[in-house]
Structure 1
Amino acid sequence: MGASRRERSSKYKNWLLGVLQSKKCHRILDLACGKGVDSVFLLEQGMEVVSCDDAEAMLVYARSEKTRLGLKDWVVKRANWLTLSEDLPDQEPFDAVLCLGSSILHLVDLPPQLGLYRKCLTNFRKFLKPGGLLLIDHRNLDSMLDHGIAVNKNIYHKVDTVSDVSMEVIEKDGVRQRVDIIYHLVVKSDETGNTNLEKVLIPIAPVHVHEFTALLKEMFGSNCNYSLYGDLELQEHVDTEDTAYFQHVVHE
């Protein structure tokens, strides 16, 4: 897939930069860096970025981008959210911690306990300076769990590569175990230039937005400043019918 098809939308870049600059964030920990698209963008804005992922295939690409772009000061490391302190032993706290790209729900955890997420958020918080920001997002699962509808909107990317989204709720003994999301991706061959459809199935946790909001407020305390965005727009009333992705911003 060409670079233009990975490029972030202007709306997303303006939103991300605006949130970070509003709190004068300079030192950033990108905990789900993937191929490094967000990290490179923030580095280009003059920020200091440490980027992590637990998928070696993603890190190989990010490191190749580091070399290609000559970004000698960009730190790219392998790290798991559940063992973050052990994986990043020498890092000082950050102004902001990012876990974006709808990554958190890929770690399949079950409500109401959400023990894995509690561990992750505890680790995320350890890497925040006092007054630091956590930015974390996820797909709108409410519409899927409650109505069987997967809202499909191009929010994050400049070029829309998802032609359709379908889903299946997986249950065991009447308890929801996960949601299998099937992305129908438009893939362009670099060799022939032809466009094909490719289906990618991703299992994610069956978590409603109010459950995730409550968890964040519990983990960061009642005095934290919390804002909820839907498709990058600040939400006064939670819209679970026409939102593709929720973005949570927590300011200690």
Structure 2
Amino acid sequence: MQRKWFQYWFNSPYYHILYQQRNHAEAEFFIDNLTKFLNPPADSKMLDIACGKGRHSIYLNKKGFDVTGIDLSEQSIKYARQFENNKLHFLVHDMRKLFYINYFDIALNLFTSFGYFETEKEHVNALKTFRKCLKADGVLIIDYFNTEKIIRNLNSCEVKSLDGINFNITKNVVDGKIIKKINFEDQQKVYNFEERVQAFSVEDFTRMLTKAGLVIQKSFGSYSLEDFELPESDRLILICKKA
């Protein structure tokens, strides 16, 4: 089977160079607000789906929760494992494949770690696996970008210079996907990567979640948990439960 763009790009050292300035303070601010809103019991079991290098998982664990982080990137999980303890574990795992059943109190899919697949059926199947891993009264949190705002403010070309590398980035909307092409040269070798993320609307998520047996309880538009406003919100944060 041909490897997908995310299997190459997320496992590349250049992915982590380009996104090295991801804000830990912002991530912790979001987690603080989420846990205050949800008020989970101290012994809650949490699943961080597409956890990357584990910044959300590590902070949730510091707050006392039992956290499992899963990601397809072997390199990210290898890095995250240095932080493991008896209540923090990391595993290489594809979010589309069944994991624990009726086990977690909260599952989190944060920082637009969804929308990577080609078909709606694949996305619905992923949501079904999220649902199956939750206890009967479990909660799923999805944190996506606000597609409408992203498209309206799309900066089609930019150059980012990091660690001596000039990343040439172009963004376009093609066939319902936001496509980011990342081209650069390092040590006299040319690299070409891309990100292809579905331009999902609130209606798309509502439909897919319904198909997966989930219902949206609340939607927020920022990491400070302001109400979602379609034109202006930066994020689309969905709090979901089993239907």
Looking at structure 2, the residues matched to 97 and 54 of structure 1 have their Cα atoms a distance apart, in angstroms, of 16
Any residues of structure 2 matched to 1:104-123 within 5 Å, and which? 104-105=114-115, 107-110=116-119, 114-123=120-129
Determine if contact 2:42/2:64 at 8 Å carries over to the other structure: no
Contact 2:103/2:134 (<8 A) preserved: yes
Aligned partner of residue 101 in structure 1, secondary structure: coil
Note if contact 1:217-1:226 (Cα within 8 Å) is conserved in structure 2: no
> Number of paired residues?
201
After superposition, what is the alpha-carbon deviation per residue over 1:34-72, rounded to whole angstroms, capped at 9, x for unaligned?
Answer: 101111111111111111101111111101233xxxx24
- Cα separation, 1, equivalents of 2:107 and 2:63: 17
1:229 is aligned to 2:228: no
Aligned pair 1:81/2:95, yes or no?
Answer: yes
Cα distance per residue 1:124-179 (max 9 Å; x no partner): 1111001100011111112344x3x249xxxxxxxxxxxxx973112xxxxx1521
- Seen in structure 2, the aligned counterparts of structure 1 residues 55 and 215 have a Cα distance that, compared at 3 Å, is same
The CA RMSD over aligned residues, in Å, is 3.0
Match of 2:105 among 95, 103, 108: 95
1:7 maps to what in 2?
24
Structure 1: how far apart are the matches of 2:92 and 2:176? 28
Shift of the 132–24 alpha-carbon distance from structure 1 to 2, 3 Å rule, reads farther
Structure 2 CA distance for aligned equivalents of residues 228 and 27 of structure 1: 22
Q: Closer, same or farther in 2 for the Cα pair 1:60/1:6, shift >3 Å?
A: farther
CA distance in 1, matches of 2:218, 2:177: 26
Structure-2 residue corresponding to 1:245: 235
- 1:32 and 1:101 in contact (8 A); partners too: no
**Same amino acid, percent of matched pairs:** 21
CA distance in 2, matches of 1:24, 1:44: 11
Q: How far apart, CA to CA, are the structure 2 residues paired with 1:119 and 1:182? A: 27
2:186 equivalent in structure 1: none
- 1:53-64 alignment, distance < 5 Å: 53-64=71-82
CA distance in 2, matches of 1:182, 1:23: 43
Q: CA 1:103–1:229 in structure 2 vs 1: closer, same or farther (change >3 Å)?
A: same
Name the amino acid aligned to 1:81.
Answer: M
Distance between the aligned counterparts of 1:74 and 1:150, measured in 2?
37
C-alpha contact (below 8 Å) 1:229/1:246 kept by paired residues? yes
Alignment of 1:140-155 (within 5 A): 140-145=146-151, 147=152, 149-150=153-154
Amino acid at match of 2:66: E
* Letter aligned with residue 208 of structure 1: S
Scaled by the length of structure 2, the TM-score of the pair is 0.71
Question: Alignment partner of 1:34: what SS?
Answer: coil
Alignment gaps of 5+ in structure 2? 1-16, 156-168, 183-191
Q: Give SS of 2:229's match.
A: coil
Matched to 1:101, the amino acid is: F
* Contact 2:102-2:136 within 8 A present in 1 as well: no
Q: Secondary structure at the match of 1:81?
A: coil
Distance 1:62 1:6 in 2: 17
Change beyond 3 A, Cα 1:42–1:210: same
Structure 1 residue ranges, 4+ long, deviating more than 4 angstroms after superposition: 1-6, 22-25
- TM-score normalised by L of structure 1: 0.69
| Paired AA for residue 239 in structure 2 | V
Give ranges in structure 1 of 5+ residues lacking alignment.
152-164, 171-175, 184-198
Aligned partner of 2:66 in structure 1 is 48
Q: What SS class does the counterpart of residue 200 from structure 2 fall into? A: coil
